Structure formats: structure tokens, C-alpha cells
Amino acid sequence: MEANREKYAADISSIKEAHERIKPYIHRTPVLTSESLNLISGRSLFFKCECFQKGGAFKFRGACNAVLSLDHEQAAKGVVTHSSGNHAAALALAAKLQGIPAYIVVPKGAPKCKVDNVIRYGGEVIWSESTMSSREEVASKVLQETGSVLIHPYNDGRIISGQGTISLELLEQIQEIDAIVVPISGGGLISGVALAAKAIKPSIRIIAAEPKGADDAAKSKIAGKIITVPVTNTIADGLRASLGDLTWPVVRDLVDDVITLEDCEIIEAMRMCYEILKVSVEPSGAIGLAAVLSNSFRNNPSWRDCKNIGIVLSGGNVDLGSLWDSFKSSK
């Protein structure tokens, strides 16, 4: 990488170290294929099923790496985070496996199935208002009271390194992959995936998939600086965060494109995952398939030579009631 480019929060060495650290605890998730979806898309698709990861999502990789990176004194005081979704459950589970406390600040209105996961894994739920300022304020108060260590959902080198282990596995499982499509929100997942994949295979393309109702990454790429969206509106509850100062440089430099999708496209891709691939995915997890099936991808000559495409199915934690309602409303 160019000499004037700042050092990123993670690199291939930290990602390989993370993989050695977390390997005894994580699932090496399978890669599924479907001839039907290959015919529909006109490509060979390889689905990295992080919906089968412990905790039901990729987030366990980063959370596990962060917890295992703590020294004994830090770990004894526990960990804290603020999250409405999969990171909350992942951190609670990682803490439980190490026998340390996990304080999880959860905003009101968070999906019930994800809050239930936090409780199931022994995390202590502390409620906040839905605003980011309230989440941060409550988390700060918990930090002061407990002396615990803050583990940010994505803007943390340990988290990015943990998520990057997906690329190590995927490119070992399917060596011919020439592009990887990854959901984008705060950028922890795609930063880790991009750093590892491009170190292993510099020619590989990394494509972000983002809801149109939360398109800060697409706007940021165009502007060349972080742009935040004041209000988000998407069924993909896991993709409503904004890029961080550690993830943005990687997204800026190593992500080749951002494809934005309407909610109806995400729901249709979700339906295909259930009906054709036979896997349970949440909206955020299905958006990669939606991107590959979109006209903006199909009609873009830049991607014509991408024949073997990895798609990260990032998670499978979905409220079934909301799922059926979304299917009915999309008809």
C-alpha cells in the first residue's frame, strides 16, 4: 500500500493472530452453493454461512477476539458495550465462555429475539433510550461504576481483526473466488474482510451492500469523507450504524463499490434464502444476495469478469413475526 496511506487498525498479521486465538471457540462456517441461484444470477455464488456461527452471526468472531485479548486484570472487571443487535449477544456469549461479566446497554425498541439472546447468554441488560447519545451516556456511566472495558461494536482493531477471519476461511474453502459481497453498516465486517482478502489475493474485488434507507457508506465514498445519515429507515436493523474513524479509511481505500438496495429487494433475497438455499437469514444477512441480483450490479460492466462470487450471509437472528409480516407486505 502507498507510503502516505495511514496504517489501518488491523492487518493480515493481526487477523491471522486473531484466527489462532479464536479458532477453539468459533465455528468454521460452511460455504453453500445453489445451482438455482447460480442460474438466476448468471454467476457462481458461494455463500459463507455466518448465520450458522455461534450466537447466530459473524459478530462472535470479533467479540471473542476482543475478550480473549484482555489481560487478566482487565477481564476480571468485565466488558461493556452498547448495541441493539448481534454484537450485544456475541459479547455476552464471549464473556460467558471466559466466566466474566458482560454489561450490555440496549436501546428501547431493539429486536426481541436479539435481546433474548443477550439474556440467554448471561449478559446483564441495561436499557437506554434509542438515540446514540443516550446509548453512549448510559455505557459511560456503567464504565465508571464497574471499571469494565468498553468493546465497541465495530470501531475497534480487535473487532476488525476477528471479523477478517471470515476471509481466511472463505479463500481457503473456495480459492477461485474473484469478488466478495459484504453487508456494510459501521464497517467492522467489511474492513476485516477487505484487509484479509486483498492481502491474500490483491486482485479480488470487495463490494459493499447497503440499504438505500441507511446509505451513509455510499454517500461517504462519493464525498471522500464520512457522511452521516441523520435518520435511517430500513428493515435491515443490523445495518443502521455509521462508519467509524477506524473503519472509514479501509472502506475508502479497499472497498471497490457500494451497491444500495431497496427494502423490497432485500426481502425478496431473504425469501430466496429460505425457499431455495434453505437457510434462515435476517434482512441484513440477505442483502449480499440482493446486491448480486440487482440491476445496478448486473448492468455494470466493471463486474462482468466477476464470475465466482463469495457472499457473506452475516446473520440469522430474526423475529419470526416480523419476518412473516415483511413477506406478506412485499406481495
| Catalytic center residues | 59, 84
Q: What's the half-sphere exposure (Cβ side, CA atoms, 13 Å) at 297? A: 30
Contact 156, 188 (CB under 8 A): yes
Q: Which residues are CB-neighbours of 91 under 8 A, at least 6 positions away?
A: 59, 63, 66, 67, 79, 81, 83, 102, 104, 123, 151
Burial of 259 (0-12, 13-18, 19+ CB in 10 A): buried
- β-pairing, 31-32 vs 44-49, is antiparallel
- Alpha-carbon distance of 118 to 103, in angstroms, equals 10
Alpha helices in the chain (DSSP H): 12-22, 35-41, 59-68, 72-77, 86-98, 112-120, 132-146, 157-173, 188-200, 216-223, 248-254, 263-272, 283-293, 295-298, 320-330
Cα→Cα distances 209→15, 180, 312, Å: 23, 10, 10
Cell output for 205: 474485488
Distance CA 61, CA 65 (A): 6
Q: What is the dihedral of CA 71, 76, 81, 86, to 10 degrees?
A: 90
